[in-house]
Amino acid sequence: MSEKNIDETFGFATRAVHGGNETDKETGAIRRPITMANSYELPYDPSVVNWSSAEGNVYTRNGGANQRYLEKKLSLLHGAQDCIALASGVAALSGLFFSLLKSGDHVIFSSVTYIAAYRLLNELFNGKFEVETTIVDTSDLDAVRKALRPNTKLAHIETPGNPTTAITDIAAIAEIIHSIGGYLSVDNTFASPYNQRPLELGADFAVESLTKYINGHGDAMGGAILGKKELLEPIRTQAQVNLGGTISPFNAWLITRGAVTLPLRMKQHNQNALAVAAWLERQEKVRFVDYPGLASHPRHGVAAKQMFGGFGGMIAFGLDADHDTNNKFVSNLRVITSAVSLGHDESLIVFLGENDERQYLYPKRFHNGFFRLSVGLEDTDDIISDLNHALLNINKPYFGTAYLR
Ligand SMILES: Cc1ncc(COP(=O)(O)O)c(C=O)c1O
Protein backbone atom coordinates (compact mmCIF):
# COMPACT_ATOMS: atom_id res chain seq x y z
CA MET A 1 0.00 0.00 0.00
CA SER A 2 1.60 3.27 -1.06
CA GLU A 3 1.80 6.24 1.29
CA LYS A 4 0.77 9.52 -0.32
CA ASN A 5 3.09 11.64 1.81
CA ILE A 6 1.48 14.93 0.83
CA ASP A 7 3.75 17.67 2.15
CA GLU A 8 4.00 21.48 2.02
CA THR A 9 5.44 21.42 -1.51
CA PHE A 10 1.89 20.70 -2.79
CA GLY A 11 -0.71 23.42 -3.39
CA PHE A 12 -3.21 24.50 -0.72
CA ALA A 13 -6.18 22.65 -2.25
CA THR A 14 -4.19 19.41 -2.62
CA ARG A 15 -3.11 19.67 1.02
CA ALA A 16 -6.73 20.31 2.06
CA VAL A 17 -7.94 17.20 0.21
CA HIS A 18 -5.18 14.74 1.05
CA GLY A 19 -3.51 16.07 4.23
CA GLY A 20 -3.80 13.64 7.14
CA ASN A 21 -5.50 10.95 5.05
CA GLU A 22 -3.90 7.64 4.07
CA THR A 23 -5.30 4.26 3.08
CA ASP A 24 -6.42 2.30 6.15
CA LYS A 25 -3.91 -0.53 6.57
CA GLU A 26 -6.41 -3.01 8.01
CA THR A 27 -9.28 -2.70 5.53
CA GLY A 28 -7.74 -1.03 2.51
CA ALA A 29 -10.41 1.71 2.74
CA ILE A 30 -9.12 4.91 1.15
CA ARG A 31 -10.59 6.93 4.04
CA ARG A 32 -9.28 6.66 7.55
CA PRO A 33 -11.88 5.24 9.96
CA ILE A 34 -13.21 6.83 13.17
CA THR A 35 -11.59 5.24 16.20
CA MET A 36 -14.14 5.66 18.98
CA ALA A 37 -12.21 4.01 21.80
CA ASN A 38 -11.26 5.44 25.19
CA SER A 39 -8.38 3.02 25.80
CA TYR A 40 -5.64 1.25 23.86
CA GLU A 41 -4.10 -2.09 24.82
CA LEU A 42 -1.18 -1.78 27.21
CA PRO A 43 2.21 -3.42 26.61
CA TYR A 44 3.25 -6.58 28.49
CA ASP A 45 4.88 -4.42 31.17
CA PRO A 46 2.62 -1.36 31.72
CA SER A 47 5.04 0.10 34.25
CA VAL A 48 7.04 1.44 31.28
CA VAL A 49 4.10 3.66 30.29
CA ASN A 50 4.16 7.35 31.25
CA TRP A 51 0.49 8.02 32.11
CA SER A 52 0.92 11.74 31.58
CA SER A 53 2.50 11.51 28.15
CA ALA A 54 0.67 12.73 25.07
CA GLU A 55 2.79 10.44 22.89
CA GLY A 56 1.56 7.09 21.60
CA ASN A 57 -1.82 5.48 22.16
CA VAL A 58 -2.79 4.95 25.80
CA TYR A 59 -5.98 6.80 26.62
CA THR A 60 -7.91 9.14 24.33
CA ARG A 61 -7.57 12.14 26.66
CA ASN A 62 -3.81 11.83 26.10
CA GLY A 63 -4.41 11.87 22.35
CA GLY A 64 -6.14 9.70 19.75
CA ALA A 65 -5.81 8.60 16.15
CA ASN A 66 -8.42 10.92 14.58
CA GLN A 67 -7.02 13.89 16.43
CA ARG A 68 -3.59 13.16 14.94
CA TYR A 69 -4.94 12.92 11.39
CA LEU A 70 -6.64 16.28 11.86
CA GLU A 71 -3.44 17.78 13.29
CA LYS A 72 -1.53 16.61 10.23
CA LYS A 73 -4.00 18.29 7.87
CA LEU A 74 -4.04 21.54 9.85
CA SER A 75 -0.22 21.64 10.08
CA LEU A 76 -0.06 21.35 6.30
CA LEU A 77 -2.67 24.09 5.81
CA HIS A 78 -0.86 26.50 8.12
CA GLY A 79 2.67 25.58 7.05
CA ALA A 80 3.28 24.68 10.72
CA GLN A 81 5.78 22.23 12.19
CA ASP A 82 3.19 21.00 14.66
CA CYS A 83 -0.44 21.34 15.76
CA ILE A 84 -2.51 20.52 18.84
CA ALA A 85 -6.19 19.94 18.04
CA LEU A 86 -8.47 20.46 21.04
CA ALA A 87 -12.15 20.37 21.99
CA SER A 88 -12.96 24.00 21.16
CA GLY A 89 -11.39 27.31 20.25
CA VAL A 90 -11.59 28.28 23.92
CA ALA A 91 -9.83 25.02 24.93
CA ALA A 92 -7.04 26.11 22.55
CA LEU A 93 -6.86 29.62 24.03
CA SER A 94 -6.92 28.41 27.65
CA GLY A 95 -4.46 25.58 26.90
CA LEU A 96 -2.04 28.12 25.43
CA PHE A 97 -2.43 30.69 28.21
CA PHE A 98 -2.32 28.20 31.11
CA SER A 99 0.74 26.44 29.71
CA LEU A 100 2.72 29.52 28.75
CA LEU A 101 2.01 32.06 31.48
CA LYS A 102 2.99 32.25 35.14
CA SER A 103 2.38 34.77 37.91
CA GLY A 104 4.45 37.89 37.39
CA ASP A 105 4.30 37.72 33.59
CA HIS A 106 2.75 40.52 31.57
CA VAL A 107 0.43 40.05 28.58
CA ILE A 108 -0.60 42.60 25.97
CA PHE A 109 -3.81 41.76 24.15
CA SER A 110 -6.03 43.31 21.49
CA SER A 111 -8.91 45.54 22.58
CA VAL A 112 -11.04 43.62 20.05
CA THR A 113 -11.03 39.89 20.83
CA TYR A 114 -13.50 37.09 21.26
CA ILE A 115 -15.16 37.56 24.69
CA ALA A 116 -13.62 34.42 26.26
CA ALA A 117 -10.07 35.60 25.46
CA TYR A 118 -10.91 38.87 27.21
CA ARG A 119 -12.39 37.08 30.24
CA LEU A 120 -9.59 34.52 30.51
CA LEU A 121 -6.84 37.13 30.40
CA ASN A 122 -8.50 40.05 32.09
CA GLU A 123 -10.50 38.28 34.79
CA LEU A 124 -8.94 34.87 35.44
CA PHE A 125 -5.24 35.40 34.75
CA ASN A 126 -5.17 38.99 35.95
CA GLY A 127 -7.72 38.66 38.74
CA LYS A 128 -6.71 35.31 40.24
CA PHE A 129 -3.24 34.37 39.05
CA GLU A 130 -1.37 37.68 39.24
CA VAL A 131 -0.59 37.87 35.55
CA GLU A 132 -0.43 41.54 34.53
CA THR A 133 -2.52 42.42 31.48
CA THR A 134 -2.74 45.48 29.24
CA ILE A 135 -5.55 45.88 26.74
CA VAL A 136 -4.25 47.74 23.70
CA ASP A 137 -5.61 48.86 20.36
CA THR A 138 -3.06 46.65 18.61
CA SER A 139 -3.77 48.28 15.24
CA ASP A 140 -1.80 51.21 16.74
CA LEU A 141 1.84 50.06 16.73
CA ASP A 142 3.03 52.93 18.91
CA ALA A 143 0.47 51.99 21.56
CA VAL A 144 1.87 48.43 21.51
CA ARG A 145 5.46 49.69 21.86
CA LYS A 146 4.41 51.90 24.79
CA ALA A 147 2.67 48.98 26.53
CA LEU A 148 5.81 46.79 26.58
CA ARG A 149 7.28 45.98 29.99
CA PRO A 150 10.45 44.03 30.90
CA ASN A 151 8.23 41.09 31.91
CA THR A 152 6.03 41.08 28.78
CA LYS A 153 5.84 37.42 27.87
CA LEU A 154 3.04 37.37 25.31
CA ALA A 155 1.19 39.58 22.85
CA HIS A 156 -2.15 37.99 21.94
CA ILE A 157 -3.88 39.52 18.95
CA GLU A 158 -6.93 38.73 16.90
CA THR A 159 -7.07 39.87 13.28
CA PRO A 160 -9.64 40.44 11.92
CA GLY A 161 -10.94 40.91 15.48
CA ASN A 162 -14.29 39.66 16.69
CA PRO A 163 -16.71 41.47 16.49
CA THR A 164 -15.61 44.71 14.80
CA THR A 165 -13.17 43.28 12.15
CA ALA A 166 -10.35 45.46 13.53
CA ILE A 167 -7.08 44.67 11.73
CA THR A 168 -3.65 44.33 13.35
CA ASP A 169 -0.35 44.15 11.45
CA ILE A 170 0.93 40.67 12.34
CA ALA A 171 4.49 41.06 10.99
CA ALA A 172 4.95 44.42 12.73
CA ILE A 173 3.74 43.12 16.11
CA ALA A 174 5.96 40.03 15.75
CA GLU A 175 8.98 42.30 15.32
CA ILE A 176 8.01 44.45 18.32
CA ILE A 177 7.37 41.55 20.72
CA HIS A 178 10.42 39.55 19.58
CA SER A 179 12.65 42.58 20.24
CA ILE A 180 12.07 41.98 23.97
CA GLY A 181 12.07 38.17 23.80
CA GLY A 182 8.28 37.72 24.06
CA TYR A 183 5.93 35.54 22.03
CA LEU A 184 3.15 36.43 19.62
CA SER A 185 -0.08 34.43 19.38
CA VAL A 186 -2.64 35.25 16.69
CA ASP A 187 -6.26 34.14 16.77
CA ASN A 188 -6.82 33.46 13.08
CA THR A 189 -10.44 32.29 13.32
CA PHE A 190 -12.02 35.11 11.25
CA ALA A 191 -9.54 34.61 8.41
CA SER A 192 -8.82 30.84 8.27
CA PRO A 193 -5.51 29.59 6.85
CA TYR A 194 -6.83 29.97 3.31
CA ASN A 195 -6.81 33.76 3.71
CA GLN A 196 -4.04 34.34 6.26
CA ARG A 197 -1.22 32.29 7.80
CA PRO A 198 0.21 34.05 10.87
CA LEU A 199 3.21 31.72 11.27
CA GLU A 200 4.46 32.76 7.82
CA LEU A 201 4.18 36.37 8.99
CA GLY A 202 6.37 35.82 12.07
CA ALA A 203 3.88 34.75 14.78
CA ASP A 204 4.92 32.05 17.25
CA PHE A 205 1.43 30.60 17.67
CA ALA A 206 -1.63 30.56 15.45
CA VAL A 207 -4.91 29.74 17.20
CA GLU A 208 -8.05 28.60 15.38
CA SER A 209 -11.59 27.89 16.46
CA LEU A 210 -12.15 24.92 14.14
CA THR A 211 -15.85 25.26 14.98
CA LYS A 212 -15.99 28.06 12.39
CA TYR A 213 -14.59 28.10 8.82
CA ILE A 214 -12.35 25.04 9.08
CA ASN A 215 -15.20 22.65 9.87
CA GLY A 216 -17.55 24.98 8.05
CA HIS A 217 -20.81 23.09 8.46
CA GLY A 218 -21.90 24.26 11.91
CA ASP A 219 -22.04 20.76 13.37
CA ALA A 220 -18.82 20.16 15.33
CA MET A 221 -16.66 22.09 17.79
CA GLY A 222 -12.90 22.12 17.89
CA GLY A 223 -9.86 24.32 18.34
CA ALA A 224 -6.18 24.25 17.44
CA ILE A 225 -2.83 25.74 18.39
CA LEU A 226 -0.15 25.69 15.69
CA GLY A 227 3.54 26.51 15.82
CA LYS A 228 7.03 25.10 16.28
CA LYS A 229 7.37 21.60 17.76
CA GLU A 230 9.58 22.72 20.65
CA LEU A 231 7.03 25.37 21.71
CA LEU A 232 3.99 23.11 21.35
CA GLU A 233 5.34 20.02 23.11
CA PRO A 234 4.92 21.31 26.71
CA ILE A 235 1.54 22.81 25.81
CA ARG A 236 0.21 19.54 24.41
CA THR A 237 0.63 17.64 27.67
CA GLN A 238 -0.91 20.41 29.78
CA ALA A 239 -3.78 21.25 27.42
CA GLN A 240 -4.84 17.65 26.80
CA VAL A 241 -3.70 15.40 29.60
CA ASN A 242 -3.92 17.78 32.55
CA LEU A 243 -6.50 20.40 31.52
CA GLY A 244 -8.53 17.76 29.67
CA GLY A 245 -9.38 19.82 26.59
CA THR A 246 -9.00 16.87 24.21
CA ILE A 247 -11.19 16.75 21.10
CA SER A 248 -13.52 13.77 20.65
CA PRO A 249 -12.57 11.34 17.85
CA PHE A 250 -15.92 11.91 16.15
CA ASN A 251 -15.54 15.70 16.10
CA ALA A 252 -11.95 15.36 14.88
CA TRP A 253 -13.22 13.15 12.06
CA LEU A 254 -16.04 15.58 11.15
CA ILE A 255 -13.65 18.54 11.10
CA THR A 256 -11.10 16.60 9.02
CA ARG A 257 -13.89 15.98 6.52
CA GLY A 258 -15.15 19.58 6.60
CA ALA A 259 -11.65 21.00 6.06
CA VAL A 260 -11.34 19.20 2.72
CA THR A 261 -13.51 21.87 1.08
CA LEU A 262 -12.03 24.85 2.97
CA PRO A 263 -10.43 26.44 -0.15
CA LEU A 264 -13.63 26.22 -2.20
CA ARG A 265 -15.78 27.51 0.63
CA MET A 266 -13.44 30.37 1.48
CA LYS A 267 -13.41 31.56 -2.14
CA GLN A 268 -17.21 31.78 -2.02
CA HIS A 269 -17.30 33.38 1.47
CA ASN A 270 -14.77 35.99 0.28
CA GLN A 271 -16.71 36.72 -2.91
CA ASN A 272 -20.14 36.86 -1.24
CA ALA A 273 -18.97 39.04 1.66
CA LEU A 274 -17.26 41.56 -0.60
CA ALA A 275 -20.44 41.90 -2.69
CA VAL A 276 -22.68 42.16 0.41
CA ALA A 277 -20.37 44.72 2.11
CA ALA A 278 -20.22 46.87 -1.06
CA TRP A 279 -24.03 46.72 -1.34
CA LEU A 280 -24.56 47.59 2.34
CA GLU A 281 -22.25 50.58 1.99
CA ARG A 282 -24.54 52.04 -0.68
CA GLN A 283 -27.72 51.86 1.44
CA GLU A 284 -29.07 55.05 2.96
CA LYS A 285 -30.25 53.38 6.17
CA VAL A 286 -26.82 51.86 6.78
CA ARG A 287 -24.80 54.06 9.15
CA PHE A 288 -21.43 52.31 8.65
CA VAL A 289 -19.88 49.11 7.27
CA ASP A 290 -16.57 47.68 8.45
CA TYR A 291 -15.24 44.99 6.13
CA PRO A 292 -11.48 44.55 5.65
CA GLY A 293 -11.95 44.19 1.88
CA LEU A 294 -13.54 47.65 1.47
CA ALA A 295 -11.24 50.58 0.73
CA SER A 296 -13.15 52.44 3.49
CA HIS A 297 -11.96 50.02 6.22
CA PRO A 298 -9.56 51.92 8.51
CA ARG A 299 -6.82 49.26 8.00
CA HIS A 300 -7.66 48.05 4.49
CA GLY A 301 -3.99 48.46 3.43
CA VAL A 302 -2.72 46.20 6.22
CA ALA A 303 -5.45 43.64 5.51
CA ALA A 304 -4.51 43.61 1.80
CA LYS A 305 -0.87 42.99 2.75
CA GLN A 306 -1.45 40.03 5.06
CA MET A 307 -4.78 38.47 4.00
CA PHE A 308 -3.32 37.06 0.80
CA GLY A 309 -6.24 34.70 0.04
CA GLY A 310 -9.07 37.20 0.51
CA PHE A 311 -10.82 39.22 3.20
CA GLY A 312 -13.10 36.59 4.69
CA GLY A 313 -16.82 36.39 5.32
CA MET A 314 -17.21 38.62 8.38
CA ILE A 315 -18.84 42.07 8.22
CA ALA A 316 -19.69 44.52 11.00
CA PHE A 317 -22.31 47.16 10.21
CA GLY A 318 -24.72 49.53 11.90
CA LEU A 319 -28.10 50.93 10.90
CA ASP A 320 -29.54 54.34 11.40
CA ALA A 321 -32.14 52.83 13.75
CA ASP A 322 -33.12 52.57 17.40
CA HIS A 323 -32.79 49.42 19.51
CA ASP A 324 -36.22 48.00 18.71
CA THR A 325 -35.92 48.75 14.99
CA ASN A 326 -32.60 46.85 14.91
CA ASN A 327 -34.37 43.80 16.34
CA LYS A 328 -37.25 44.20 13.84
CA PHE A 329 -34.72 44.27 11.00
CA VAL A 330 -33.32 40.91 12.11
CA SER A 331 -36.77 39.40 12.61
CA ASN A 332 -37.57 40.26 8.97
CA LEU A 333 -34.65 38.22 7.62
CA ARG A 334 -35.50 34.82 6.19
CA VAL A 335 -32.32 33.54 4.51
CA ILE A 336 -29.96 34.87 7.17
CA THR A 337 -30.41 33.26 10.61
CA SER A 338 -30.14 35.11 13.91
CA ALA A 339 -27.67 32.90 15.81
CA VAL A 340 -24.21 33.05 17.36
CA SER A 341 -21.14 31.48 15.76
CA LEU A 342 -19.73 32.19 12.33
CA GLY A 343 -18.05 30.58 9.35
CA HIS A 344 -20.91 28.14 8.86
CA ASP A 345 -22.31 27.26 5.43
CA GLU A 346 -25.40 29.38 6.20
CA SER A 347 -25.36 33.14 6.82
CA LEU A 348 -25.65 34.10 10.50
CA ILE A 349 -26.30 37.48 12.09
CA VAL A 350 -26.04 38.74 15.67
CA PHE A 351 -27.32 42.09 16.93
CA LEU A 352 -24.81 43.33 19.48
CA GLY A 353 -26.86 45.71 21.57
CA GLU A 354 -25.74 48.82 23.35
CA ASN A 355 -24.97 47.04 26.62
CA ASP A 356 -21.78 45.21 25.53
CA GLU A 357 -19.49 45.87 28.51
CA ARG A 358 -16.45 46.17 26.20
CA GLN A 359 -17.98 48.90 24.07
CA TYR A 360 -15.68 51.52 25.54
CA LEU A 361 -12.81 49.65 23.85
CA TYR A 362 -14.33 50.03 20.37
CA PRO A 363 -14.46 53.11 18.12
CA LYS A 364 -17.53 55.34 18.65
CA ARG A 365 -19.47 54.10 15.60
CA PHE A 366 -19.90 50.75 17.40
CA HIS A 367 -21.45 52.30 20.52
CA ASN A 368 -25.11 52.43 19.48
CA GLY A 369 -25.60 48.75 18.73
CA PHE A 370 -24.39 47.03 15.58
CA PHE A 371 -24.53 43.76 13.67
CA ARG A 372 -21.96 41.02 13.14
CA LEU A 373 -22.80 39.26 9.89
CA SER A 374 -21.19 35.98 8.89
CA VAL A 375 -21.83 35.80 5.17
CA GLY A 376 -22.52 32.22 4.14
CA LEU A 377 -22.46 30.19 0.96
CA GLU A 378 -25.98 30.94 -0.31
CA ASP A 379 -26.42 32.68 -3.68
CA THR A 380 -25.12 36.23 -3.40
CA ASP A 381 -28.37 37.65 -4.80
CA ASP A 382 -30.47 35.83 -2.19
CA ILE A 383 -28.39 37.22 0.69
CA ILE A 384 -28.59 40.77 -0.67
CA SER A 385 -32.27 40.40 -1.47
CA ASP A 386 -32.92 39.20 2.09
CA LEU A 387 -31.11 42.22 3.58
CA ASN A 388 -32.85 44.56 1.15
CA HIS A 389 -36.29 43.22 2.01
CA ALA A 390 -35.60 43.48 5.74
CA LEU A 391 -34.38 47.08 5.33
CA LEU A 392 -37.33 48.15 3.19
CA ASN A 393 -39.81 46.55 5.56
CA ILE A 394 -38.04 47.44 8.74
CA ASN A 395 -41.26 48.54 10.43
CA LYS A 396 -43.56 45.94 8.92
CA PRO A 397 -44.17 42.35 9.99
CA TYR A 398 -42.85 39.54 7.80
CA PHE A 399 -45.27 38.62 5.01
CA GLY A 400 -43.75 35.79 2.96
CA THR A 401 -40.80 34.75 0.88
CA ALA A 402 -42.08 35.68 -2.60
CA TYR A 403 -39.68 38.64 -2.70
CA LEU A 404 -36.73 36.31 -2.95
CA ARG A 405 -37.19 35.32 -6.60
C1 LIG B 1 -12.20 34.70 17.15
C2 LIG B 1 -12.69 33.56 17.99
N3 LIG B 1 -11.82 32.87 18.72
C4 LIG B 1 -12.22 31.84 19.50
C5 LIG B 1 -13.54 31.48 19.58
C6 LIG B 1 -13.96 30.35 20.48
O7 LIG B 1 -14.18 29.22 19.73
P8 LIG B 1 -15.13 28.02 20.26
O9 LIG B 1 -16.52 28.52 20.26
O10 LIG B 1 -14.83 26.93 19.28
O11 LIG B 1 -14.66 27.68 21.63
C12 LIG B 1 -14.48 32.18 18.84
C13 LIG B 1 -15.91 31.83 18.93
O14 LIG B 1 -16.77 32.53 18.42
C15 LIG B 1 -14.05 33.26 18.02
O16 LIG B 1 -14.90 33.97 17.29
Q: Provide the residue-wise pLDDT of the chain in tens; the chain has 405 residues.
A: 567 889 999 999 999 999 999 999 999 999 999 999 999 999 999 999 999 999 889 999 999 999 999 999 999 999 999 999 999 999 999 999 999 999 999 999 999 999 999 999 999 999 999 999 999 999 999 999 999 999 999 999 999 999 999 999 999 999 999 999 999 999 999 999 999 999 999 999 999 999 999 999 999 999 999 999 999 999 999 999 999 999 999 999 999 999 999 999 999 999 999 999 999 999 999 999 999 999 999 999 999 999 999 999 999 999 999 999 999 999 999 999 999 999 999 999 999 988 778 888 999 999 989 999 999 999 999 999 999 999 998 877 555 444 444
Rounded Cα–Cα distance for residues 215 and 209 (Å): 9
Which residue from 238, 195, 189 is spatially nearest to 214, judged by alpha carbons?
189
If you write DSSP's letter for every residue of 45-77 in order, what string do you get? SGGG--TT--SSSSBGGG--HHHHHHHHHHHHH
Rounded Cα–Cα distance for residues 283 and 281 (Å): 6
Closest residue by CA, ligand 1 atom 14: 341
Bridge partners (DSSP) listed for residue 82:
227
Report the nearest atom of ligand 1 relative to the CA of 162.
Answer: 1
Which pTM value belongs to this model?
0.96
Residue to mutate (ligand 1; options 159, 162, 190; most atoms within 8 A of CB): 162
Rounded Cα–Cα distance for residues 188 and 113 (Å): 11
Bridge partners (DSSP) listed for residue 226:
83, 206
Judge if the beta carbon of residue 215 lies within 6 A of ligand 1: no
Helix (H, G, I), strand (E, B) or coil at 284: coil
**Residue partners of 151: CB distance under 8 A and separation at least 6:** 104, 105, 106, 132
Which residue from 311, 241, 271, 294 is spatially nearest to 91, judged by alpha carbons?
241
